[in-house]
Amino acid sequence: MPALTESIALGRTRSATARKAPSRSLDTLFRTCSYGAALLVLLVLAGILGSILYGGWPAFREFGFGFLTSSAWNVGTEQYGALVAVIGTVASAFLALLIGVPVSLGIAVYLTQLCPGWARKPVAMTIELLAAVPSIIYGMWGLFVFAPLFARYIQIPVSNLVEGMPIVGTLFYARVPSGVGVFTAGIILAIMIVPFIASIARDMLDQIPTVLRESAYGIGCTTWEVVRHVLVPQAAVSIIGAIMLGLGRALGETMAVTFVVGNANRLSASIFDPSSTIASRIANEFNEADGLQLNALMALGCILFVITFVVLIIARLLTRRVQAA
């Protein structure tokens, strides 16, 4: 016991001396370490890009630019094209944002502005718990619980209603009324990205100085006006960042989408029809792929990488414009 006290005392003295004379070498070490950590990310990223480029190269060489524009995917005849998967990926992620963003922002505004104090913690926690649910659980729930209900109460009635109509008829008619498809994938993805966007947006709204809000109320603004003209513009940059994070997840989500997207390699104008995404195709075929098929899957991975990269660049440009304005 006395030894323990002694060591604590010693420790205290040591930290006290450290405070008095900050060590230069420690500072350099810290700088090098954090620099190395940042560099490591770059190295890993370059490594990933390099290896999938190397793996996908034979497919790019074989099909050239046609790999992007072809909708064929036939293992038997070794014809591969990325178009269907690319469109499926972008469409499902877009639908996810379309549904998820308004909901997330609504949650964030409610939690920070309107929610009674006692309910804040439980509601926030519930939302964050959604982020902890493994994606395969979302997939299974989507396939076994959500899809049948969706088919019965929305897809089939809507299909029957719009059958034969121009435009609406092609967009909403389900050839395979099983409840799975691009739209279902979009809904499941929306549920998956809501906790990300909502909690970041909430943190950002929380950090806006109270004085700003109070002065707006002071000059007679309504709650809606405060949110619309004070809070949202203040947090806009961070909110766009949060949305991009959600979009990144939606683009790359694999297991959940594989379960509910329908896994069809066809172009269809209807959002109720089955399709596939880049990630779902890789998940489905990687195990048994060989030769050119494996190269084509690698090339798909490469394209997903590029899509995500382009999305990030757009996000950067957007935030810069918002900041400038």
Residues that bind other proteins (CB under 8 A): 51, 54-55, 72-77, 143-144, 147-148, 151, 175-180, 258-259, 262-266, 274, 276, 280, 283-285, 287-291, 293-295
Q: Is the Cβ of residue 203 or residue 285 nearer to other proteins in the bound state?
A: 285
Q: Where are the beta strands (DSSP E) in the chain?
A: 73-74, 79-80
Least separation in angstroms between CB 259 and other proteins: 6
| Tokens (6 digits) for 277 | 């995404």
| Minimum distance from residue 268 beta carbon to other proteins (Å) | 11
| For other proteins, the closer CB: 129 or 267 | 267
Least Å distance between CB 263 and other proteins? 3
Q: In the complex with other proteins, which residue's Cβ is closer, 238 or 265?
A: 265
Minimum distance, C-beta of residue 246 to other proteins, in the bound complex (Å): 25
CB of 182 to other proteins, least distance (A): 12
**Which of residues 177 and 241 has its CB atom nearest to other proteins in the complex?**
177
Q: Residue 320 carries which DSSP code?
A: H
Cα separations (Å) of 206 from 108, 202, 212, 223?
9, 6, 12, 15
Distance, CA of 232 to CA of 322 (rounded, Å): 11
C-alpha distance from residue 89 to each of 96, 192, 210, 269, 281 (Å): 11, 15, 41, 14, 10
Answer yes or no: are the C-beta atoms of 208 and 231 closer than 8 Å: yes
Q: CB-wise, 180 or 300, nearer to other proteins?
A: 180
What's the CA gap between 86 and 68, in Å, rounded?
8
Token pair, residue 122, equals: 């439980």
Neighbours of 178 (CB within 10 A): 17
Closest approach of other proteins to the CB of residue 68, in Å: 17
Beta carbon nearer to other proteins, 72 or 103? 72
Please answer whether residues 91 and 271 qualify as being in contact, where contact means their C-beta atoms are separated by less than 8 angstroms.
yes
Residues 86, 220 contacting (CB under 8 angstroms): no
Write down the least CB distance from residue 101 to other proteins, Å.
29
Q: Across the strands, what pairs with 79?
A: 74
Of 104 and 295, nearer to other proteins (C-beta) is 295
How open is the CA angle 93-96-100, to the nearest 5 degrees?
A: 145
Q: How crowded is the C-beta side of 129, counted as CA atoms within 13 Å?
A: 6
